[in-house]
Amino acid sequence: MVALRGRDIDSYLAKPDPARPIVLLYGADAGLVRERADALIASAVDDVNDPFSLVRLDGDDLAAEPSRLVDEAMTVPLFGGRRAIRVKAGGRSFASGVETLSEMTPKDCRIVIEAGELRPESPLRKACERAKNAVAIACYPDTERDLAKLIDDEMRAANLRLAVDARATLMGALGGDRQTSRNELRKLTLYAHGAREVTLDDVAAVISDASDLKLDPIVDAAFAGNAAKVESEFGKAMAAGTYPGVIISAAQRHVAALHKASLAMDEGASPTAAAEGGFPRLHFSRKGAVETALRNFNAARLAQVMDQLASAALDSRKQAALAAAIVQRALIVIAASARRRG
């Protein structure tokens, strides 16, 4: 089985193995699928605009004639040179074409197949994972580590530093789709061109709705005890294709800041002063929500919420198919708890 994981994916993408020219890219992050496909095609041919070098095929069309994939892959160009085939998988299977091709040796031709979510028993996924000359690469929404690396890479390329509070905001606003995240970051670096550091104000000015989501209303509603708003805002986020892990990560950062502020209140600070200390450069529009949360939860109960969110985050990663339900339930539980003490 050749299903790449972790660093093996990065190694293959950096230097594709010519002995494994068939590449299946699949998963929930369509932007990451496209980005990786673009990179693999660009490194496989001299000119992506040359129709003799790059052949584009529709998977549903191939399902009616799987042998066409074999014919295209084994074609030797009249004038030589490298070739690539880019296949967009649809709802119909063309796995038999891949199985036949797995027994052959395409010369100077890379076959890149793009697909959405595929179950382990999917014929296309099974065919690519079993073939000795193929690899299967899962493309799922960025983890916090992946997103941090993406942010660092874009900032480094633009020769910019990133303020701590700006980084925290970016981590909460990005992550639903790799291409959307990268485009938003490049828009941000262009906006900050000529400066030395990207600030929170820069992020607020440019990334107003990254990944089609504003996370603050969901999190604020939970800690204010407004379960109905949690449900409605969470529904909007899911409709926009937002990865549930991004939302729960934002909730974890929020409760950590609330806990810090609550400890300051225990030492005599006012709710306003504590909020400003726990949330550096807190936007004025959220001060009321933060102060409400601090009235609803003391430090001990916030520590319990931290544990609850940590467990929910772990469960959502272990059970990806149920991630949305797990995250939404965790936030509604927080809202119910806030109402009991609010």
Domains of the chain: 3-138 (3.40.50.300), 145-341 (1.20.272.10)
Please spell the DSSP secondary structure of 127-190, one letter per residue.
Answer: HHHH-TTEEEEE--PPPHHHHHHHHHHHHHHTT-EE-HHHHHHHHHH--S-HHHHHHHHHHHHH
Count CB neighbours of 257 within 10 A: 20
Residue 213 to residue 38: CA distance in whole angstroms: 26
Backbone angles phi and psi of 109, in degrees to 5: -140, 125
Token pair 């929170």 is found at 200
Return the higher-pLDDT residue of 81 and 242: 81
Q: Could you give the maximum distance between any two Cα atoms of the chain, in Å?
A: 81
Across 167-181, b (16+ Cβ under 10 Å) vs e yields: bbbbbbbbbbbbebb
Tell me 126's DSSP state: H
Q: What is the pLDDT of residue 5?
A: 81
From the list 246, 214, 250, the residue with the least C-alpha distance to 324 is 246
pLDDT tier for residue 157 given thresholds of 50, 70 and 90: very high
* Per-residue pLDDT at 327 exceeds 50: yes
- Beta carbons of 31 and 177 less than 8 angstroms apart: yes
Helix (H) or strand (E) holding 26: strand 22-26
Residue-wise pLDDT for 258-290, tens only, equals: 998 889 888 888 877 877 777 765 666 678 888
Residue 145 to residue 151: CA distance in whole angstroms: 10
* Per-residue pLDDT at 1 exceeds 80: no
- Beta carbons of 131 and 22 less than 8 angstroms apart: yes
Report helix, strand or coil for 78. Answer: coil
Entry pTM = 0.59
307 DSSP β-pair partners: none
Residue 237 to residue 170: CA distance in whole angstroms: 16
Q: Which two tokens stand for residue 87?
A: 């296949």
- Beta carbons of 84 and 53 less than 8 angstroms apart: yes
Residue 292 to residue 280: CA distance in whole angstroms: 17
From the list 204, 66, 199, 198, the residue with the least C-alpha distance to 124 is 66
Residue 255 to residue 246: CA distance in whole angstroms: 15
In the chain, % of residues over pLDDT 90? 51
**What is the rounded average pLDDT for all residues in the chain?**
87
Across 207-241, b (16+ Cβ under 10 Å) vs e yields: beebbebebbbbbbbbbbbbbebbbebbeebbeeb
pLDDT tier for residue 64 given thresholds of 50, 70 and 90: very high
